[in-house]
A = this chain, B = another copy of it.
Amino acid sequence: MSILVVGSVAFDDIATPSGRRQNVLGGAATYFALAASYFTDVRVVAVVGEDFSAEHEDVLKKRGVDTRGLQRSKGKTFRWGGQYLDNLNEAKTEFTELNVFEKFQPQIPDEYLNSPFLFLANIDPTLQAAVRLEMNGARLTGGDTMNYWIQSTPKELAETLKLVNILLINDAETKMLGGDRSLPRAARKVLALGPQALVVKHGEYGATIFFREGAFGIGSHPFRAPALPIEEVQDPTGAGDSFAGGFMGYLASQDELNREVLKRALFYGGVMGSFAVERFGTERLQTLTRNEIDARFQLFRELTHLG
């Protein structure tokens, strides 16, 4: 079934121990869409500027992503610069130019309104809520957020969280949002805010999914999918969004939502995140095959399962 992602498209300047790149096509919606495209039909709503060319759009189109929801505005596309020279696990932002993203008002094309799956990438929670309410037939909604919204718009975020089925954030965001230094306790407090499930992304260590009691009829035991360390992380940008794309894309490809499907989705999330970081920007996500993806899935399984 198809999935709609609403989020950012950006051009990034990136410096890592492996090198530097400028004007790399990025943004959460881009990484998410490419990762999810290996599992299901993807539709994207985002805003781009006049510097976004047909070749840029082709990166998405070549993966079959429906780009009719790309809104073109006067001005430049959102730009971000960051470096990971001291720490591959955390970006140091060097500049942020919101440009056309500053006035982003998501417009959902009519043809997208029937999308059974929805992913609200990391944007203003007020916009996330508006999109979710417009997409009121969505069967399952995933969402992301960040420390900025947790701290500056807590009330708006609380309203959005009531509309999200599965929230995907990292360890630090979970502890901040739950207001607790214990991850399991923080997770429980986040689940009390609305979501039925919370996926906590641990970077190179994989991810854990926590469930609200009774959610999806599958009990409340968490599940952890370990990733495996990558030989050469060239560029960590977009790893979390690629994880979300693999996770949500796999869910959207399945007829049923049960514990086993959610577990496999968590593994596929880790798989897509691990591919994303092997090259700068979305390079690796543009040319994968489903065979490569499933081979890495099997590898992750073999290298973490007892006999």
Residues of A near any B CB (own CB < 8 A): 17, 88, 181-185, 202, 204-206, 208, 221-226, 228-233, 260, 263-264, 267, 301-307
Contact = CB atoms under 8 A, between A and B. Distances in A.
B233 A182 contact: yes
Given A202-B205, A205-B205, A206-B226, A232 B305 contact: no
Given A206-B205, A305-B306, A306-B305, A182 B231 contact: yes
A263 B222 contact: no
Given A226-B206, A229-B208, A231-B185, A304 B304 contact: yes
Q: How many copies does the complex hold?
A: 2
A208 B230 CA distance: 13
Contacts of A264: 306
12 contacts: A17-B181, A183-B204, A185-B232, A205-B205, A205-B206, A205-B226, A223-B303, A224-B228, A224-B304, A225-B304, A226-B304, A304-B304
Nearest to A264: B306
A267 B305 CA distance: 10
Contacts of A224: 226, 228, 303-304
A232 B229 CA distance: 28
Contacts of A17: 181
Given A184-B229, A208-B229, 5 more contacts: A208-B228, A221-B302, A224-B303, A226-B304, A301-B306
A222 B228 contact: yes
B306 A263 contact: yes
A171 to B, nearest CB: 9
A306 B222 CA distance: 13
Contacts of A223: 303-304
Nearest to A221: B303
Residue of A202, A223, A306 with highest tally of chain B CB at under 10 A: A306
A152 B202 CA distance: 33
Contacts of A221: 302-303
